Amino acid sequence: MRQKGYPFTERNVMTEQAAAVELQNRGVCGVPAFLIGEEMIVGFSPQQIEQAIDFQIVACPHCGKKLSVPKDKGKLRITCPACQTVFEK
């Protein structure tokens, strides 16, 4: 993460009770765990991490369904797969 220049916050579940509780509440049983937007990645997978970083999570303004959309692609026209609402982001 440092080599790529990605900002991150490191938390230690062995020394920070709040971090351990947060993972437990999310149903995560292993480390390392990466929370990127709304996506939780358990285990070290550079490919999954890169993919999650290149996307952002947006909520459909009609039904609230969370969708992954590419970052830094300008204005996007999105159709929600759940309710078919079309919106721009």
**Rounded CA separation 43/64 (Å):** 29
pLDDT in tens, 60-88: 999 999 888 888 888 999 999 999 999 99
Average pLDDT, the chain: 90
More confident residue, 26 or 5: 26
The answer to whether residue 18 scores a pLDDT higher than 90 is yes
Q: Which residues of 13-26 are buried (b: 16+ CB within 10 A; e: fewer)?
A: beeeeebbeebeee
pTM: 0.64
pLDDT digits over 37-59, tens only?
A: 878 999 999 889 988 888 888 89
Chain centroid to CA 60: 16
